[in-house]
Amino acid sequence: MPVVHSAFGYLLLLALAWLLGRRSRRLPWKTVVVATLLQVGVAGVLLRTGLRRVLFELIGTLTEVLQTTALQANRSLLFVGVSNRRFTETYGPMIALEIMAILVFVAAVARLLYHYGVLPWLIARLSRAMQALLGISAAESVAVAANIFLGMTEAPLLVRPYVARMTESELFCLMTAGLATIAGTVMVLYASMLQQAHPDIAGHLFTASLISAPAAIAVAKLMVPETGVPETAGKRVTLWREDTVNGIDAVTRGAAEGMQLVINIIAMLIAFIGLVALCNWGIGALDRWVNGAQAGSWSLQAAAGWVFRPLVWLMGIPWSETAPVAKLMGLKTILNEFVAYVELSALMRGPHPLSERHFLITTYALCGFANFGSVAILLGGVGGIAPSRRQDLARLGLLSLIGGTLATLLTGAVAGLYV
């Protein structure tokens, strides 16, 4: 039975998180149990009640409006020669230009919402609920809540006065949550990429990022349990105040930050895709030397796919159908989730697409920043906030990648309970 399969896999993934962590005898059972119930409960409310239709329609409409208005400048002024309908129908869309338009515009809107207090209000209330229910520190709860809306390097800025004095468990929780969720800016981008595969994809991506937050807390506390006394335990922290002067200043800074994000994404894609191609060239040469005429199946992605096949099975996907999903998880980890979603979109248009259930489980599991490039960005961003913690960050880097990946796999298993 698929639901039992996903539930069984969920428990095994939690056990795996404990085995791959420090295996302390002081397990935070309350935090883990409440986080699990919170993730499963919120997913059930959003996916199986009447709220789903209202929320998914709202998010879908908002995403469509943001996408349409973001691309307006491309089509009417800047790149009209290569973004008009006749050109795109003949040669296909210029993906880099669409990425740039969507990220720059949504980043500007997000900064505007932060300047006028909308995002701080949401983050503050969500973080207080997490702190009360899960028993984590105020600094942790704010950082985790912010990751649902902001990026993995922007969220720690909200608690930057406390980062240098965080316990190791708090720091690991902050890192794991950053890698287990996605920012609102890229959520709009991924929704635009997958909207033809599923009409409610924007709502599913929002749900995936939201329920990955408690999963990240459960995994983080299983892998690196709290052994100290957090400075902000039982307290409230004051969110970092926006230093923009007015709305125009906020939009200007947001656009600049969005452009920097575009440059980072394109640079990471070029660097890591090139490195993977270089590794695959060497692996291919070895494959030809070992297998001769039978060569052609060895690659870095194939190796990562074999590693992920048992983990993909734990989410509730039958073993016979785990190979394509495992390959996508390998792509996401080695490269990033953008490439994985591109491949998922192509797979759904191909001759052998995934079933709707397996497509949604895969979409939920890919919804996170857990990849090697993001770990480097996270170390640089948080290390810049707290230079004294660089050694701790470096030591926890690979472990946080594992934790973020396990959290998104838990989210995929939860999706398997309801879709």
Residue 332, pLDDT score: 92
CB 214 within 8 A of CB 135: no
pLDDT given at position 180: 94
What is the residue type of 417?
L
Structure pTM? 0.87
Residue spans of the domains in the chain: they are: 2-418
CA-to-CA separations, 261 to 44, 129, 255, 266, in angstroms, rounded: 33, 30, 10, 9
Tokens of 398: 């690979």
pLDDT at 75: 67
pLDDT tens for the chain, 419 residues: list them.
789 999 999 999 999 999 999 877 777 888 999 999 999 999 999 999 888 999 999 988 888 887 778 777 766 666 777 666 676 666 656 667 777 777 788 788 888 888 888 888 888 888 888 888 888 988 889 889 888 887 787 788 778 778 888 999 999 999 999 999 988 778 888 888 888 888 899 999 999 999 999 999 999 999 999 888 888 887 777 776 667 888 889 889 888 888 887 787 777 778 877 887 888 888 888 888 888 777 777 787 778 888 899 999 999 999 989 999 999 999 899 888 888 998 899 899 888 899 999 999 999 999 999 988 888 888 887 888 788 888 999 899 999 999 999 999 999 999 999 98
- The C-alpha atoms of residue 374 and residue 307 are separated, in whole angstroms, by 20
Instruction: Please give the full DSSP string across 257-313, using - where no structure is assigned.
Output: HHHHHHHHHHHHHHHHHHHHHHHHHHHHHHHHHHHGGG-----HHHHHHHHHHHHHH
Report yes or no: 366 and 348 within 8 Å, Cβ to Cβ. Answer: no
Identify the pLDDT of residue 408.
97
What is the structure's pLDDT at 122? 83
Cα radius of gyration rounded to whole Å, the chain: 21
In the numeric block, the tokens 């965080």 are attached to 166
CA distance 73 to 114: 24
CA distance 341 to 143: 26
What six digits make up the tokens of 128?
């207080």
- The CA distance from 63 to 201, in Å, is 10
